[in-house]
Chains A and B, each alone.
Chain A
Amino acid sequence: MFLYTVRRLAALAPIMVVVMLITFTLGYYGPIDPVRAVLGEEWEDEARYAEVKKALGLDRPFVIQFLDYMGAMFGGNWGQSLSSFGGVASDRAVSEGRGAGFSGTSTGVREMVVGRLGITAQLSFWALVFLATFAILLGVLAAVKQNTAIDYTIVTSSIIASSIPAYVIGPVLLIVFVLKIPVFKTVGGWDGMFSRQAILPAIVLAFGPMLVIVRQTRAGIVEVLGKDFVRTARAKGMPERLVVARHMLRTAMIPVLTSMGLITSGLLTGSLFVEQIFNIPGIGKLAIQTLLSGDHAVFMGVVLFQSLIIVTVNLLTDLLYGGLDPRVTYS
């Protein structure tokens, strides 16, 4: 197990390097010329163009640029947003070069990504709360009422909720709960995680992974329905409610808990549609904005950061699974 952990950790670094290489290559051959973006209207002045290009280090060969980028990323300097060079900033680009403006201002890519992640994390937290209560409850109910109309209704409506993309469910909920039944007055934007604006987006975000939780909870409970320890608990005269809560749910929760990691990384990397619909300045919104505006350094930062979340959570899930289930051995 220890050796396995070390091996898996060692395999992480090369994967991240290749991920970096792919995003860097895409950015390098992408449609936006950073020099032109920095210079604005000045770009036709050839001498000036060459000067800025040299200052930004873009005149060097591809390989050197990539190695430099990779080294900086590992060192914690994720580069600069193009917006930091806005206005007459080409002078600044020349005087300060590649490290320009990296002094903890909000134009540093890392600061932008980490700052926006906070909002996405708060949103994901509510979605997880919603899943951990509502979805698990539905799963238990479906299992207890196995093969009845209630069961079919719960499972089928979870399939529906999870198949339909957020950019369809979001507007539908907006129309229903703002126009038809005016429960919410202000929607869109972000006003802290305890404001009413957070409710609708969190629900929409939770719809995606709902089916997984409902199905796993249901399957887990169904599996232990006829087990001896459940019968014993009932024979002791324990109320059915407690039998379910204390005995069945506890065993059924193991697969649900291990999949929670994957669901969390799915929420953190998949919130972009919800953020786009409800105009929430999270990490997904940042990615789309910077991709469309051509601010590739920031976009690449988001992609790399999300990749890091994905591979880390995958690893943790595998290890946790091995830790919780003694039948699983890794070699």
Chain B
Amino acid sequence: MTAEANTQHELFAMPEQRSLWQDAMEQLMRNQLAIFGVFVALLLVFVSIFGPWLSPYDYTQQNLFRINEGPSVDHWLGTDGLGRDMLTRILHGARTAFLVGLIVTIGTTVLGVVLGAAGAFLGGWVDATVMRMADITMAFPDILLAAFISVVFREKVLELQLQLQEQYGWTLSESNRVYLDYLVIFGALTLVQWYGKARLVRGQILSLREKEFIEAERALGASNWTIILNHLVPNSLGPLIVSITVGFGGAMLSEASLSFLGVGIQPPGASWGEMISDSLGQWRFSPHLVLMPGIVLAIVVLGFNFLGDGLNDALNPEQRRR
């Protein structure tokens, strides 16, 4: 909470001045699983920024003399079916996962907050439209809808890129082509995953608006903006932060799922899901090819889930389990 907000309530002297955020921080630090989550998240950020410089290989560099090798001094995690270094590809997969997680989370958060807040404040037909849109999105099997959108969208993006290439001579190198995949997945996942945050924000605002302390503020003559900035935003931030954290992990998982199904990141781009499906046929002969990206994906997903759980316990004390 801001200093302003604290001075406003000086009249009610509290025995110990401890803000929600300090309390939350203390709670979080006490939760070992959440610390593990923080560690995983920081490691992911580090690796996705500096990954390419940590390895002497290129993620598309093939060596057909050394395929399907186990871990060795040259290749710490072995090599895949085309002799590409597994560690390098996993590091690049981290970049893919992180970037997709980031842009999809930004997309769904912006869309969710805007639509949810619009529905709650404007009411009437705006609210009805937003909620029906959410109902319809929820009626779909989400992965199949995302897969369908990405197949259709990919075609349009490729057409657009070809057009630009013909008109202006803008060409994309093979390694930059992966950004088109990011765009496709971003569109597909944002359209499928926006509604959770919209419903959350709408519900928060609607329930907070009826609370006594908001009524008191209104009676004291506070303007709408004061109420929004001083009360609605800080009070709904907790659940939203939890939802963003869990959603970040969910978006990375969805990217891996789409890539696993063959409609996400296209080879030779590196994605953990694509790596798993790529070497699935090899599980009997070189199990490490499936295991390595799988274990990394599992650790990251778990890390974000634990972090989300920890944040939920820390930021929403009324929901604390055990």
Question: Do A and B interact with each other, yes or no?
Answer: yes
List the interface of chain A (C-beta within 8 A of B).
15-16, 18-19, 22-23, 26, 29-31, 147, 156, 159-160, 163-165, 167-168, 171-172, 174-175, 178-179, 269-270, 272-273, 276-277, 287-288, 291-292, 299, 302-303, 306-307, 310-311, 314
- Provide the residues of chain B in CB contact with A288, threshold 8 Å: 147, 261-262
Q: Find out whether the CB atom of B284 lies under 8 angstroms from the CB atom of A306.
A: no
Main secondary structure of the interface of A (DSSP, over half): helix
| Residue-wise interface mask of B (128-168) relative to A, using a CB-CB cutoff of 8 A (1 in contact, 0 not) | 00001001101111011101110110111000000000000
Identify the interface centre among A19, A160, A168, A288: most chain B CB within 10 Å of its CB: A168
- Provide the residues of chain A in CB contact with B151, threshold 8 Å: 30-31, 291
Q: Find out whether the CB atom of A22 lies under 8 angstroms from the CB atom of B297.
A: no
List the interface of chain B (C-beta within 8 A of A).
33, 132, 135-136, 138-141, 143-145, 147-149, 151-152, 154-156, 253, 256-257, 260-263, 273, 276-277, 280, 283-284, 287, 290-291, 294-295, 297-298, 301-302, 305-306, 309, 322
- Provide the residues of chain B in CB contact with A269, threshold 8 Å: 141, 144
- Provide the residues of chain B in CB contact with A276, threshold 8 Å: 260-261, 277
12 CB < 8 A contacts A-B: A15-B136, A15-B139, A19-B139, A159-B306, A160-B302, A167-B276, A171-B280, A288-B147, A291-B263, A303-B148, A307-B139, A310-B140
Shortest 3 CB-CB contacts between residues of A and residues of B = A31-B155, A168-B294, A306-B141
- Provide the residues of chain A in CB contact with B145, threshold 8 Å: 303
Complex Cα gap A23–B136 (Å): 12
- Provide the residues of chain A in CB contact with B33, threshold 8 Å: 156
Question: Other than the known A15-B139, A159-B302, A269-B141, what 17 A-B pairs have Cβ atoms closer than 8 Å?
Answer: A16-B139, A29-B156, A31-B151, A147-B322, A156-B33, A159-B309, A165-B253, A165-B297, A167-B276, A174-B283, A272-B143, A288-B262, A291-B147, A299-B144, A303-B145, A307-B140, A310-B140
Closest Cβ–Cβ distance, residue B291 to chain A (whole Å)? 7
Complex Cα gap A47–B253 (Å): 48
Beyond A26-B148, A147-B322, whether A175 also contacts B136 by CB under 8 A is no
Complex Cα gap A30–B262 (Å): 16
Q: Find out whether the CB atom of A175 lies under 8 angstroms from the CB atom of B144.
A: no
Q: B149 touches which one: A26, A159, A314 (CB < 8 A)?
A: A26
Closest Cβ–Cβ distance, residue A17 to chain B (whole Å)? 10
Identify the interface centre among B136, B149, B284: most chain A CB within 10 Å of its CB: B136
Beyond A175-B283, A311-B139, whether A163 also contacts B301 by CB under 8 A is yes
- Provide the residues of chain A in CB contact with B280, threshold 8 Å: 171, 277
Q: Find out whether the CB atom of B147 lies under 8 angstroms from the CB atom of A172.
A: no
Residue ID in chain A nearest B273 by CB atoms: A167
Beyond A31-B152, A291-B148, whether A167 also contacts B140 by CB under 8 A is no
Identify the interface centre among A23, A31, A167, A303: most chain B CB within 10 Å of its CB: A167
Beyond A159-B305, A171-B276, A172-B291, whether A164 also contacts B135 by CB under 8 A is no
Q: Find out whether the CB atom of A272 lies under 8 angstroms from the CB atom of B261.
A: yes
Q: B298 touches which one: A164, A175, A277 (CB < 8 A)?
A: A164
Complex Cα gap A165–B276 (Å): 12
Q: A171 touches which one: B135, B143, B291, B306 (CB < 8 A)?
A: B291
Q: Find out whether the CB atom of B148 lies under 8 angstroms from the CB atom of A164.
A: no
- Provide the residues of chain A in CB contact with B297, threshold 8 Å: 164-165, 168
Complex Cα gap A174–B289 (Å): 14
Identify the interface centre among B141, B145, B147: most chain A CB within 10 Å of its CB: B141
Q: Find out whether the CB atom of A168 lies under 8 angstroms from the CB atom of B298.
A: yes
Complex Cα gap A84–B305 (Å): 46
- Provide the residues of chain B in CB contact with A15, threshold 8 Å: 132, 135-136, 139
Q: Find out whether the CB atom of A18 lies under 8 angstroms from the CB atom of B294.
A: no
- Provide the residues of chain B in CB contact with A167, threshold 8 Å: 257, 260, 273, 276-277, 294
Complex Cα gap A277–B256 (Å): 14
Complex Cα gap A29–B144 (Å): 17
Q: Find out whether the CB atom of A30 lies under 8 angstroms from the CB atom of B152.
A: yes
Residue ID in chain A nearest B299 by CB atoms: A164
- Provide the residues of chain B in CB contact with A292, threshold 8 Å: 262-263
Complex Cα gap A270–B145 (Å): 12
- Provide the residues of chain A in CB contact with B294, threshold 8 Å: 167-168, 171-172
Q: Find out whether the CB atom of B139 lies under 8 angstroms from the CB atom of A26.
A: no
Closest Cβ–Cβ distance, residue B35 to chain A (whole Å)? 14
Closest Cβ–Cβ distance, residue B147 to chain A (whole Å)? 6
Complex Cα gap A256–B165 (Å): 57
- Provide the residues of chain A in CB contact with B144, threshold 8 Å: 269, 272, 287, 291, 299, 302-303, 306
Complex Cα gap A270–B87 (Å): 31
Q: Find out whether the CB atom of B283 lies under 8 angstroms from the CB atom of A310.
A: no
Residue ID in chain B nearest A299 by CB atoms: B148
Q: Find out whether the CB atom of B263 lies under 8 angstroms from the CB atom of A19.
A: no
Complex Cα gap A164–B151 (Å): 25
- Provide the residues of chain B in CB contact with A31, threshold 8 Å: 151-152, 154-155
Complex Cα gap A62–B88 (Å): 48
Closest Cβ–Cβ distance, residue A312 to chain B (whole Å)? 10
Complex Cα gap A15–B136 (Å): 6
Q: Find out whether the CB atom of A179 lies under 8 angstroms from the CB atom of B284.
A: yes
- Provide the residues of chain B in CB contact with A19, threshold 8 Å: 136, 139-140
Q: Find out whether the CB atom of B276 lies under 8 angstroms from the CB atom of A168.
A: yes
Complex Cα gap A269–B147 (Å): 14
Closest Cβ–Cβ distance, residue A18 to chain B (whole Å)? 5
- Provide the residues of chain A in CB contact with B139, threshold 8 Å: 15-16, 19, 307, 310-311
Q: Find out whether the CB atom of A26 lies under 8 angstroms from the CB atom of B302.
A: no
Complex Cα gap A168–B300 (Å): 12
Q: Find out whether the CB atom of B263 lies under 8 angstroms from the CB atom of A310.
A: no
- Provide the residues of chain B in CB contact with A299, threshold 8 Å: 144, 148
Q: Find out whether the CB atom of B141 lies under 8 angstroms from the CB atom of A307.
A: yes
Q: Find out whether the CB atom of A165 lies under 8 angstroms from the CB atom of B283.
A: no
Identify the interface centre among B149, B154, B263, B322: most chain A CB within 10 Å of its CB: B322
